[in-house]
């Protein structure tokens, strides 16, 4: 199996695509081995209703610049978001825009991802926010929650309903109506990704931690030996885990 045709960001930096969760700066590989970095605030932070003040937004913006300058690679950055609440989520995206637009010339190499929480019923509001980022001269894309999908209500767990989550991704892409925009799938599950690719939809990028779970009996025998749930990094390389996870997908 060769490398996938789209970036799969992961915490072990396999294929050079590194995932970090704010405020993490240290990576598991040397700077020269990094192709690109995906920076997230994490689901727990997104669940904190109203937990972002102006000072916190400025610290996060400074963190993104530090991350880009430290590793000298492109950065995909999640715009601070609020789960399952479109009005508060778009309002927070606008507050963050005020922070980053003050230093617009400094943002080369950073692409901001607006997370589309509860897009259903709020398409025009999200389209307006995307347009405001573009008018400000910033590189902007969108991120679709793909671990727990809340682009429509009710939210559903993609582990339990992978096909329904894949259908929601397609619905989201069609609803937002921006064919050339970068679309990132947040925390995508294997079965959801498999369905999307089988239907002919290829995302711009994805991130996942699911490959770190034991994904086959063969991997359990060769990488564990003691029946533990998580794969032991001392026995098999992270690349082995991710390639096993991708079997039947690519």
Kindly report the CATH number assigned to the domain that includes residue 171. Answer: 3.20.20
Q: Are residues 204 and 217 in the same domain?
A: no
Q: Are residues 96 and 146 in the same domain?
A: yes
Is residue 89 predicted with pLDDT exceeding 80?
Answer: yes
pLDDT of residue 206: 98
- Average pLDDT (100-118) is 92
Q: Are residues 32 and 136 in the same domain?
A: yes
Is residue 165 predicted with pLDDT exceeding 90?
Answer: yes
- Average pLDDT (93-119) is 93
Is residue 103 predicted with pLDDT exceeding 80?
Answer: no
Q: What is the total count of domains within the chain?
A: 2
- Alpha carbon separation from 6 to 2, 22, 220, 230 (Å, rounded): 12, 23, 27, 26
How does pLDDT run across 211-240, given as a tens digit for each residue? Answer: 887 667 777 677 765 555 666 777 788 898
How does pLDDT run across 14-72, given as a tens digit for each residue? Answer: 999 999 999 999 998 998 999 999 999 976 666 666 578 889 999 999 999 999 999 99
pLDDT of residue 105: 73
| Gap between the Cα atoms of 107 and 137, Å rounded | 9
Q: Are residues 227 and 111 in the same domain?
A: no
Q: Are residues 34 and 130 in the same domain?
A: yes
- Identify whether 218 is part of a domain: yes
Q: Are residues 145 and 229 in the same domain?
A: no
Phi, psi (deg, nearest 5) at residue 63: -60, -45
- Identify whether 3 is part of a domain: no
- Identify whether 1 is part of a domain: no
Q: Are residues 123 and 218 in the same domain?
A: no
DSSP-based helix, strand, coil % in the chain, nearest 5? 40, 15, 40
- Identify whether 246 is part of a domain: yes
Angle between helices 162-176 and 123-135 in degrees, nearest 10: 60
- Identify whether 234 is part of a domain: yes
pLDDT of residue 222: 73
Q: Are residues 230 and 202 in the same domain?
A: no
pLDDT of residue 217: 73
Looking at every residue in the chain, the average pLDDT score rounds to 91
Q: Are residues 129 and 178 in the same domain?
A: yes
Is residue 97 predicted with pLDDT exceeding 90?
Answer: yes
pLDDT of residue 234: 75
- Identify whether 237 is part of a domain: yes
Q: Are residues 14 and 136 in the same domain?
A: yes
| Gap between the Cα atoms of 47 and 117, Å rounded | 11
Q: Are residues 132 and 249 in the same domain?
A: no
How does pLDDT run across 148-158, given as a tens digit for each residue? Answer: 999 999 999 99
- Identify whether 174 is part of a domain: yes
- Alpha carbon separation from 196 to 65, 166, 169, 199, 246 (Å, rounded): 33, 6, 8, 5, 14
Is residue 162 predicted with pLDDT exceeding 70?
Answer: yes
Q: Are residues 101 and 158 in the same domain?
A: yes
Nearest alpha carbon to residue 8 among 108, 83, 61, 76 = 76
Residue range(s) defining the domain that contains residue 241: 213-250
- Identify whether 2 is part of a domain: no
How does pLDDT run across 127-148, given as a tens digit for each residue? Answer: 999 999 999 999 999 999 999 9
| Gap between the Cα atoms of 43 and 66, Å rounded | 22
């Amino acid at each position: 199996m060769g490398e996938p045709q789209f970036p799969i960001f992961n915490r072990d930096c396999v294929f050079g695509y590194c995932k970090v969760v704010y405020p993490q700066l240290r990576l598991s590989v040397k700077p020269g081995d990094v192709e690109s970095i995906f920076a997230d605030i994490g689901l727990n932070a997104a669940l904190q209703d109203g937990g972002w003040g102006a000072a916190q937004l400025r610290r996060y913006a400074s963190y993104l610049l530090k991350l880009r300058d430290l590793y000298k690679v492109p950065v995909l950055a999640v715009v601070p978001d609020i789960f399952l609440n479109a009005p508060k989520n778009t309002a927070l995206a606008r507050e963050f825009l005020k922070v980053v637009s003050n230093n617009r010339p400094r943002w080369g190499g950073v692409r901001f991802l607006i997370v589309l929480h509860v897009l259903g019923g709020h398409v025009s509001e999200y389209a307006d926010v995307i347009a405001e980022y573009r008018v400000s001269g910033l590189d902007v894309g969108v991120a679709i929650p793909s671990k727990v999908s809340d682009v429509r209500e009710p939210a559903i767990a993609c582990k339990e309903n992978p096909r329904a989550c894949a259908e929601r991704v397609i619905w989201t892409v069609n609803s937002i109506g921006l064919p050339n925009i970068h679309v990132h799938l947040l925390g995508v599950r294997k079965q959801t990704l498999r369905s999307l690719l089988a239907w002919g939809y290829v995302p711009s990028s994805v991130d996942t931690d699911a490959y770190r779970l034991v994904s086959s009996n063969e991997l359990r025998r060769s990488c564990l030996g003691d029946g533990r749930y998580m794969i032991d990094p001392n026995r098999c390389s992270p690349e082995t885990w991710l390639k096993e996870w991708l079997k039947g997908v690519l």
